[in-house]
Amino acid sequence: MKVGFVGVGSMGRPMLEQVVRAGHEVSFYARRPDVAHEVAACGAASAPSLAELGAGLDVAVVCVFTDAQVREVCGGAEGLLATLPPGGTVVIHTTCRPETPPALAQAGHSRGITVLDAGFSGGPADAAASQITLLVGGESDVLERVRPVLATYAAPILHVGGLGDGQRVKLVNNVLFGAQVALVAEAERIARDLGIDPARALEAISHCSADSYVLGAVRAAGSSDRFQVVAGRYITKDVATATELASAAGTHLGLLATVTESLRAPAGSPAPPETTATAVG
């Protein structure tokens, strides 16, 4: 297939590399010349504009950072919905608002453009190992058509419902993920207050019943503070979106909101690149 990427940051690039290795014809669009040069070395073709990228694709993979950026690269006269050939598919990996994928699908319907809502769970190393989890919302026949592309960097690929449902499941996951990060931070604090080295306590707990994926991620980072320097911005963004979504549905995040209130992107956290999708959860 002819596959194009918009967003070749910490997640998009290893995804792209796996698609190249699988033998698909891969192109991408990056605004920064230095990024374009680096990614082109992987064997993908750099498109000079978003419009020129879309014109030759079967599948467009969107891996930007925010909901607004998803709408920007998909909409407008030069966006993917206007430039993909009829029959093309847009795959949205960005954690965005659940109403965005259905709105984009409606906008692309008249041209025969389909959309898949494909939130992911995992990080760059998982993508490089073809092991990120995809939470896919949309038509099952569309998923099956593009599955050979997605399977180059993802396993399992879970069809969780209609358009927007992938985002809903991803947001619930990320709120729970954030709460677990906050709980590990509390465990570190308690260990410290009890006169125990937190790192040693977490290492011991990793062999006990309280072990978890998050505990392993915090240990790999060195501490919950260090982990939040990298991931805190992403977590708080998704918690805020989930809070708004729950409120609109007439519910609330309950204890998960209470626990995640302690999470903040620490001062001095690096701003995420504008073409990097959420890389946690």
Tell me 49's DSSP state: S
Radius of gyration of the chain (CA): 19
- Mean predicted lDDT score pLDDT of the chain: 92
Residues 81, 105: Cα–Cα separation, whole Å: 9
d(CA 133, CA 111): 30
Domains contained in the chain, CATH given: 2-162 (3.40.50.720), 167-260 (1.10.1040.10)
Does residue 279 register a pLDDT over 50?
Answer: no
257-270 per-position pLDDT tens digit: 999 998 865 444 44
Cα(60)–Cα(255) distance, integer angstroms: 38
Q: According to the model, what pLDDT value does residue 237 have?
A: 86
Distance CA 60, CA 246 (A): 30
| Rounded Cα distance, 126 and 146, in Å | 20
Residue that wins the pLDDT comparison between 59 and 271: 59
Report the alpha-carbon distance of residue 206 to residue 200 in Å, rounded: 10
Report the pLDDT averaged over residues 244-255. 95
pLDDT in tens, 191-212: 999 999 999 999 999 999 999 9
Tell me how far apart the alpha carbons of residues 247 and 154 are, in angstroms, rounded to a whole number.
32
Q: Is residue 233 within 8 Å of 227, Cβ to Cβ?
A: no
Q: What is the mean pLDDT of residues 78-87?
A: 96
The whole-number pLDDT of residue 243 equals 94
Mean pLDDT of 43-69: 95
- Across 88-106, average pLDDT: 96
- Contact (Cβ atoms closer than 8 angstroms) between residue 143 and residue 90: no
Going across the sheet that includes 132-137, the strands are 45-46, 25-29, 2-6, 59-62, 89-92, 114-121, 132-137, 154-161
Could you tell me the two tokens for 145?
A: 């058509």
Tens of pLDDT, residue by residue over 104-152, are 999 999 999 999 999 999 989 999 999 999 999 999 999 999 999 999 9
Q: Is the dihedral of CA 249, 251, 255, 259 positive or negative?
A: positive
- What is the reported pLDDT for 276? 37
The Cα 42–Cα 34 span in angstroms is 13
pLDDT of residue 264: 60
